[in-house]
Structures are given as structure tokens and as C-alpha cells.
Structure 1
């Protein structure tokens, strides 16, 4: 194979995530996990956000050690729509409440410092109240899996933030 073809093939494989750059110490599986963290996951300005969204954003997680508290969405584009329009794929979580499309839940705060939390919640949807567990598994500080039903797989979400 010619040197040009070899370089072109290496570039294609690197772009596809199949190989790491020499000396980078990046493994493809690590890159896949890191891709959940999106620096473009920016919310609308704070003055346009609902009260519980602001509470979730301004909560001091380092003091409470409740990693699940925050504003979450399935991708950066969904972060930009928060509290501006109706859509699926978000969660505003305070220490003792969760708001998702068409539903609000309340619960006792989870155990501080835990990466996986099971919250026994009382949820209201269409004026009907139901009790059920909500499962939160933190993948890292910027991504999690949220499950509202033990029989179905959870939803991967990234943490949304305000523009700096």
C-alpha cells in the first residue's frame, strides 16, 4: 500500500473512533463515554427559565453531594429548548422533585454521595397521582441514565448549563 493510502486510511480510522492518536492514551470505549459530555449543552438565559429549573441549576451539589440535581436533556439541542416549548427528552431535578414532560414528582432526597439512587416518588400526571420508583445512575458528573420504569431501559441524558 502506498504511503498516501496508508495515511488516508489512518485518518479515516481515527475519525471513525477506531484508533487513538499515538500517545493520546485515549481508548475508543473511553471516547464513547466522553462523547456524552457536550460543552454545547447550553440553556436559554436564566430569566426565561422556570423556577424549578433555576433551583436545579443553582443548587450547590458540592455541599449536598446530590449528583443527580440539575437540568438534563437527551442532547444539546434539547437543552436549548428548555422551558421554551413542549418537547420530550428533559428532566429538571431538584433535591426533592423532578419535572419531565407532562409530569411532576416529589420524593425524599437521595443519599448524599451515591452514584446510583432509587427515589420513591409520588408523581402527578393529568391530575392523577401515582407512586413509583425513579432510578438515577450517574455515568459521570455530566451524564446519567434516568429510568421511570423498572421494566424498560432508562434514558441517557447530559447535564445542561447556562452560557458562561
Structure 2
């Protein structure tokens, strides 16, 4: 935008200078000829001013116009930038808060990844809202999550997806046991996996990936993950030995957690 404004200033300035010169030529051409000077014995009167002074005046006026235009463009640019920052402020602040929650740096790369993460959650919410399926929750009845108002948005929606028939079977909230399910989103050190069709959040990372179907109850997720203050592309090996058990990268199986009734 700044380069566009700069180019506009130069073009405007050049145009004003050209117009100033043209107007001066036209005004000079249209003036009636000066009457011949009378021959007198007195000292000659100063010669009439030629058009140079007028041209200089016009050029000065043109320069003032250019300066005023530059100042106005600068003010407009500052106002526009301030408005963009003001509008983006709450969104960026939310992203920084998320980054701090996940223990990662709030730089441009992580902010982009977190936007992708949030988009995945939003899309899942829409799919669940549009679903007409209302199957009962599955899994151990004792493996209950904390009350919904204590859960993060991705946890609530991932836990609802299975009964709404949305996404592959690996979508859900997973923990080591019933006691760990009760600590999801309350204790940040609890080993968990909150899985949507396109995201995984664990205690130490968040990941984005393309929705991947299970084949023989297995899948390899091509994921981009934020962990340990950096972003990296990794493969996540996922197996489901049964409907309510999930293994990630060969680790011990996690159980499916349920929302309280």
C-alpha cells in the first residue's frame, strides 16, 4: 500500500508541474501584446515582468499541493493501519492467550497454525449441529469428563461428535483411565488426546491434519504440530484395537471419555 501511495504522489506531483507549465504558456499566449514603450527622455521604466515569476508561483503552489496531498495520504494510511490493528486486536490477543495455554511462542507461524486449529473446531461444531443423529454415548460409564462449563470448546465438541455420527471413529476425548478423564482441561499435566476430524490436542502439543479415514482400524495422520515452542511436520500413527480404545504412536491405549449426562 505504501508503494502505491508513493507512486501516486510522484504521478500527482509530475502532473501538477506539467499543468502549471501548460497553464502559464496558455495564459501568456492569450494576453494582448504589450503596447510599445514610449520613448522619453526620462530614465527607462523597469521592463515588465515576464511570465517567469508567475510560473515560479504556480510551481510553488503545486509543490504546496503535493505536500498537502502527501500529508493527507500519510494521515489516511495511519488511520487505516490503526483501524486494522484495532479490529485484529481481540483476535490476535485470543491467539496469544491460546499460545500461552499451550506453552508455545505467539509468533506469526504459531498464530497461523492456531487459526487452522480453531477453524477445524468450528467446522466440527457446524457438522455436529447439522447432524440428525442422536446415538447414545459409548465407552465406560465411569469415564466421565468434568462438567461442560469447565471444558474447552474443542473438548466439548469432540466428545459430542461420536453420538452425532460425525467424523471417523477416532474422533473423541481420550485419557489413560476414568480418573484421568475427570481431570481433562483441569490439570494441564494429565495425558490426554482431544481429537476432532482434523485436529489433535495433547498435554504438550496441538496438531492440524487432513481428515483421514481408518483402514483396518489404523491410520497415519500427516500432521503439522506445535510443541516445545516450535512447529514441525510429523506422522502420527493411530490404531483403534476396539471402538473405545485409541493408541497413538504405539503408546498405551487410551479410553474414550464421556460427557456427564
TM-score above 0.5? yes
Kept after mapping to 2: 8 A contact 1:137/1:146:
yes
With a CA cutoff of 8 Å and minimum separation of 6, indicate the structure with the bigger relative contact order: 1
- How many equivalent residue pairs? 123
Q: CA deviation at 1:146?
A: 1.3
Distance 1:63 1:81 in 2: 26
2:82 maps to which residue?
none
Q: Quick check: 1:49 aligned with 2:146?
A: no
Q: How does 1:16-27 map to 2 (within 5 A)?
A: none
| Match among 112, 137, 140 for residue 38 of structure 1 | 140
| Match among 149, 152, 161 for residue 258 of structure 2 | 161
Kept after mapping to 2: 8 A contact 1:41/1:77:
yes
1:96-135 deviation digits (Å, cap 9, x = unpaired): 0000012100000111675111101000013300111111
The runs of at least 4 aligned residues of structure 1 exceeding 4 Å deviation read none
1:114/1:67 CA distance change after superposition, 3 Å: farther
Find the structure with the greater CA-based Rg.
Answer: 2
2:172 maps to which residue?
70
| Match among 184, 198, 205 for residue 103 of structure 1 | 205
Structure 1 stretches of 5 or more lacking a match? 1-36, 148-152
Kept after mapping to 1: 8 A contact 2:205/2:226:
yes
Structure 2 stretches of 5 or more lacking a match? 1-138
Relative to its length, the structure with more strand (as a share) is: 1
Provide the aligned C-alpha RMSD in A.
1.9
Distance 2:224 2:218 in 1: 19
Give TM-score, length-normalised by structure 1: 0.68
SS of the residue corresponding to residue 155 of structure 1 reads: coil
